[in-house]
Every structure is written in structure tokens, then in C-alpha cells.
Amino acid sequence: MLRVLEPGLFTTVQDLGRPNAIASGVPPGGAMDRFAHRAANLLVGNSEGDATLECTLTGPHLLAERSCVVAIAGAEFEIRINGQVAPTWTGIFLGKGDHLAFGARRSGGRAYVAVAGGIQADRWLGSASTNLMAARGGMNGRNMKAGDQIGVAREASRPAVSGHHLPKRLHPDYGNHTLAAVVGPHLKRLDPDSRGLLFKAAFKVSREADRMGYRLDGPRLGTSGDELLSFGLTAGAVQVPHGGQAILLMADHQTAGGYPVVATVVSASMPVAAQLVPGDELHFAEVTLDRAHQMRLSLANALDTLREPAR
């Protein structure tokens, strides 16, 4: 259906992950930016859990071997179809033989490509998400390479319609790199100075940043107390290991660990976190659970507009 002419830097199949596998030590995985992943799917009439392509920093060049409807959401890239600039966050029709090419990246780190009918992929432990460590899921458990053929999971029951669009006012505020976070279970292990810095200081995404997590440059956070017994972790957790360099856990995080968790980024801020790239500055802002709930509903409502019939 779609032929990969150039794979881009790191393009993998992702969906909403495999939460059931974490009890076996398998990372939950799934799209880093779940908002953009869901939006791309809804824009082409898919279910939000269908598999998409997650394209990192540089995007692919794809050839439509059959006509289809696609949508690209997330990081802002210059997208061209047969050389003509095409819109993002919009369902677009590709005729047989059309070339879809990612160009310059303007902002963000990860874009999602959805195809009407969903991307056909290997499923592993209930998810099509690619797990490189186990070499399972997605495209034979690996990232895309030139020559790969991307199939469609199922024929649409009704023709997919192009032209659906999600206006920018309904996107997460990707330009605002302040991540809303709830106080973590071990905040009290931070020394008083560090506790003050956590929600004030600027942090920067270091070069050690991938789907597992981001090491953050910034103030060294001092902790005290006995070693913790290991416990289950979650994406968004801000861990502080012995050296004092904070780590923000992302989709492919280690499932358990024993470092203090001093804050957890709320689900509504994770799409913003997912779009950060090495060198980006960020802040943590303390929010209540009520505020986190409102933020989550606001994003869910934005996606609900895509479930309405197109005009």
C-alpha cells in the first residue's frame, strides 16, 4: 500500500501500547505523543488505538502504491505531496503513485502518520507497538528501512474521507515547555534547596534522550535516605538517581526501579514532553489532581470534535 522510499531517522510502528505486559518487565511502549497519534487516526476515520508510524526528527519518504487517505499530526514538518506543500493535522487523499515526503522540521520531535484502515503490523502481547529490545511488534520488531511495504490492517467499511482537520487552537500548547506535574511519592527525600528548585529551575533535555526517557541537564538534585525498595514505575515519573541528574521517564521506560520519584508529569502534558528534543529547555509546574483532570478533559474534548461527522 505504502512503500518506504526513505525511512527517516527513526520511524517505528506504534499504538497505545501494552499495559498488560508491564507486570513481566516489558515496557508499555506505544506512541510518545498519544494526542497526535489519536488525532491522526481520528482524522482518517480510524479508531484511536490503530497503529500509526511514529517519525522521529526526520521523516520518511513514502510512495502510495494504492490510493489511500492519510493524516500527519504532531511535530511540524514541511510535508509535500508530489512536490506540493500539503497540510498537517488534516486527512489527505493520496492517489496511486503519489509521493509523500517529509521535509524540514519546524518544531517538535515526533510526527505520526495514520492511514485509513490502520497500519498492518505484527502484534505482540496485545499491541502493535515496536519493541526493539525484544525485536517484536510493528515491522518485524524493528524500525522502518527503505523498501519496506506498509500494508493496511483492514478495508474501511465506508470510504475514508479526506479534508477532516483539527485546528491549531485545539492542539496541546506545544510551544509552552512548562510541564504540569503532580508532587511525587518521594519529594521529601529531596534536600530543602533541591525541593525549591524542582518547580522553579530550568531543565534542559540532554543528548541522552530517547523513547525510554530523557536525562535532564540542570541543577543537581540532592536526595537523602536509605535505598528504596523497587516499585512499579509509570511514564511521566521524574526520577532522581544518586548523581542528582533528574530523568523523565517516557513510553519505553523501565517498568520498576528504586530511585526516588519526586514528581510525575500529568497525562495532559505528556504530548508536550514527547515533542521535546535535546537542547530544549523545560520547567515543571506543580498542579493539583483537579487541575490535571481538567487539562486531560480539555484534550479529550478536542479529540471528540473529530468524532463528529465532517461538514
Partner 1 sequence: MRPPRSVRPASRVRLHPLGDTALLAELGTRLDTALNTRAIALATALKKRRDVRQAVAGYAGVTVHFDPDQTTHETLGAAIKRLAAKRPPMAEPGRLHRIPVVYAGPDLEEVAARLNLTRETIAELHSKPIYRVFLVGFVPGWAYLGPLPEELELPRRQVPRTQVPAGSVAIAGRQTGIYPLPTPGGWHLIGRTSVKLFLPDRDPPCLFRAGDRVKFFAANL
> Residues 238 to 257: which contact partner 1 by CB under 8 A?
254-257
Grid coordinates given for 123: 502484534
What DSSP state is assigned to residue 290?
Answer: H
Tell me the per-residue interface mask from 95 to 124 with partner 1, x by CB under 8 A, - otherwise. -----------------------------x
Cβ–Cβ under 8 Å, residues 205 and 301? no
> Residues 7 to 26: which contact partner 1 by CB under 8 A?
19-26
Grid coordinates given for 161: 474521507
C-alpha 308/C-alpha 311 separation (Å) is 9
* 267 near partner 1, rule: CB under 8 A: yes
Task: Pick from 151, 167, 232, 279 the residue near partner 1 by CB under 8 A.
Answer: 232
- Cα dist. 91→32, 161, 192, 240 in Å? 21, 7, 51, 42
Task: Pick from 172, 218, 236, 260 the residue near partner 1 by CB under 8 A.
Answer: 236
* 264 near partner 1, rule: CB under 8 A: yes
* 227 near partner 1, rule: CB under 8 A: yes
End-to-end CA distance of the chain: 28
C-alpha 273/C-alpha 141 separation (Å) is 25
Residue 126 CB, nearest approach to partner 1 (Å):
8
Residue 289 CB, nearest approach to partner 1 (Å):
6
Task: Pick from 62, 101, 115, 292 the residue near partner 1 by CB under 8 A.
Answer: 292
In the complex with partner 1, the residue whose CB is nearer, 160 or 249, is 249
Distance of CA 269 to the CA centre of its chain: 11
* 237 near partner 1, rule: CB under 8 A: yes
C-alpha 126/C-alpha 124 separation (Å) is 5
All residues at 6 or more sequence positions from 156 whose CB lies less than 8 Å from its CB, including other chains? 45, 116, 117
In the complex with partner 1, the residue whose CB is nearer, 226 or 308, is 226
- The binding site for partner 1 (CB under 8 A) comprises 19-27, 124-125, 133-136, 181-185, 227-234, 236-237, 254-257, 261, 264-268, 289, 292-293, 296, 300
